[in-house]
Amino acid sequence: MSMSFPAQTRLVFDQRVPMRDGVTLSADVMFPAGAPENGKRYPAIVLRTPYIKANPVTYANARYFAERGYVYVMMDVRGRGDSDGVWKPYVHDGRDGYDAIEWVAAQDWSNGKVGTLGGSYLGRIQWLAALEQPPHLGAMVVLVTPSDPFVETPTGLPSPMHLCWEHFVSGRVLQPMEAVQWSEVYEHLPLLTMDERAGRVMANWREQIAHAQMDEYWDRICYQNRFEQVNVPVLHISGWYDDEQIGSPMNYIGMTTRGAVEARDKQRLLMGPWGHALNTTQNLGEVDFGPLSLIDLKGEQARWFDRWLKDDEDAGGAAAVTIFVMGENAWRDEAEWPLARTQFTPFYLHSAGRANSRFGDGSLATGAPTEDEPHDGYRYDPARPVPFVTEPTSSQIGGPDDYAAIERRDDVLVYMTEPLREDVEVTGPVRVELYAASSARDTDFMAKLVDVHPDGFVQRLCDGMVRARFRAGMERPELIEPGQVYKYGIDCWNTAQVFKAGHRIGLEIASCAFPKYDRNLNTGAELGVTSEMVVAEQRILHDAAHPSAVVLPIIPR
């Protein structure tokens, strides 16, 4: 069965693609004008998706590339849509990706050069396929790509909001996320049976909770520890407010430093002021990033494929790194990431012992504490969690939201600089070095970098967290001793923000960001399977012996 589109492209439905174990997957194939009857051979682009290939957006993208001389192959992954087999996220996608790429390369209409394209789930499975080293894989465009397990949620458990995604892809077709009252579901304990509260038992959800640390179960879907096995030019694309943002800069660094030697100089990073839905609006929440924030993103992808699948050297002139610098709302080309000229600068926490809320006495300064400043303390009650501002579904977790109201709480410590006398650019990875003690055997510490505007708007930039039992790594859980001081490292991901003169650089410290992360119940019990809670008394130290600080990537201007 075929169907005609403008510009004489041709769509052929439901081509059965055999996998090595006999399962067949379904592919819809868009051909350039005159193909395949004209006998010409073309480069091909493969997109493999769990989100059902048969939709107008996917077909429109296919037509775009077919009009530029590519055969575009859209495939439902195993167990989804029209494909056979059993759906199990990620587990089969490495080998299935290899088999799909090599099937495409063997077709009469293929010239043997195959690229892959896609974002989020579709990005991660490109990496899993690349690890299998298909001989005809010539280029990848990976967007908003998830990291290895526990990089984004270093809690040992899936985010409560991940259950929304598990529901969305349950069965063979897409499920309506709006059919469930997610804000009520997220409150349910224990985490293990949250799926029942959402209306269905989800085996994958329960398997993840049963493996609440890095172990062999997770090895099969890890790729970020194996870049040396990837010898492919890759265009990495994400946004500063993508809720999986950390993966793209990490992957770019991994491929340029640890990838196969021949591929290290064939990497490009593109970061915009976008959320998980890239390049769709210049406004996120209350922040307008201006008309320059929207670009010809398809054109960037097409030029990448032209360079590596058509050997068009004229298409390869873009900078290695292109970033949108928020605050001044402008694009800038760079030679590397992080930027070589970065001055990593500690901004130390200070107070007279009362940094609680935005009305407290917390401050940030580049001068280290020189005397024994009193610590700051707060009570973390899991029954009254500090909110993370977000939509209820997992389609976008957080943005440049206003945290002024959240900072009114006494269980949120707030540290701010004085109003800046001149613009300060912070571009790169942000980390927090925190000295803290707790009355609990296990607890969490959250850190959030914010831009405090003169009008009181408190703009979230980036954030991160640490679960105390995983302070030494996700494969080595160890409870803490109540009252003992520990040094915690918190990865707050990346940003690119010019703090304008008159603004303040702000840092929030709390012990919850719900429902982005599950609530630590503070008992030290097995994760995800209990409901008992206790209140934790937290102490944050910032004295000469315990110089807690946020380390900012300052770019000289």
**Which pLDDT band holds residue 7 (cuts at 50, 70, 90)?**
low
Please check whether residue 383 lies inside any domain of the structure.
Answer: yes
Tell which residue, 502, 547, 527, has the closest CA to residue 210: 527
Q: Which domain holds residue 545?
A: 343-555
**Which pLDDT band holds residue 4 (cuts at 50, 70, 90)?**
very low
Distance CA 376, CA 410 (A): 11
Distance CA 444, CA 434 (A): 12
Catalytic positions, please?
120, 242, 276
**Which pLDDT band holds residue 361 (cuts at 50, 70, 90)?**
very high
Using the 3D structure, point to which of 85, 117, 143 is the last residue of a domain.
143
Please check whether residue 366 lies inside any domain of the structure.
Answer: yes
Dihedral, CA atoms, 191, 197, 198, 199, nearest 10 degrees? 130
Distance CA 298, CA 235 (A): 12
Q: Which helix (H) or strand (E) holds 267?
A: strand 267-272
Distance CA 504, CA 403 (A): 14
Domain count, the chain: 2
Q: What is the pLDDT of residues 522-541, one digit of tens each?
A: 999 999 999 999 999 999 99
Please check whether residue 522 lies inside any domain of the structure.
Answer: yes
> What's the length of the chain?
557
**Which pLDDT band holds residue 371 (cuts at 50, 70, 90)?**
confident
Please check whether residue 459 lies inside any domain of the structure.
Answer: yes
Among the listed ranges 76-90, 313-327, 354-368, 478-492, which one has the minimum average pLDDT value? 313-327
Distance CA 485, CA 26 (A): 56
Please check whether residue 150 lies inside any domain of the structure.
Answer: no
CA torsion sign for 377, 382, 384, 385 is positive
The overall average pLDDT reported for the chain is 96
Q: What is the CATH number of the domain that holds 92?
A: 3.40.50.1820
**Mean per-residue pLDDT, 323-343:** 98
Q: What is the pLDDT of residues 502-527, one digit of tens each?
A: 999 999 999 999 999 999 999 999 99
Using the 3D structure, point to which of 143, 163, 191 is the last residue of a domain.
143
Please check whether residue 467 lies inside any domain of the structure.
Answer: yes
Using the 3D structure, point to which of 143, 165, 199 is the last residue of a domain.
143
Please check whether residue 412 lies inside any domain of the structure.
Answer: yes
> What integer pLDDT is reported at residue 463 of this predicted model?
98
Q: What is the CATH number of the domain that holds 490?
A: 2.60.120.260
> What integer pLDDT is reported at residue 5 of this predicted model?
47
Please check whether residue 308 lies inside any domain of the structure.
Answer: no
Q: What is the pLDDT of residues 146-189, one digit of tens each?
A: 999 999 999 999 999 999 999 999 999 999 999 999 999 999 99
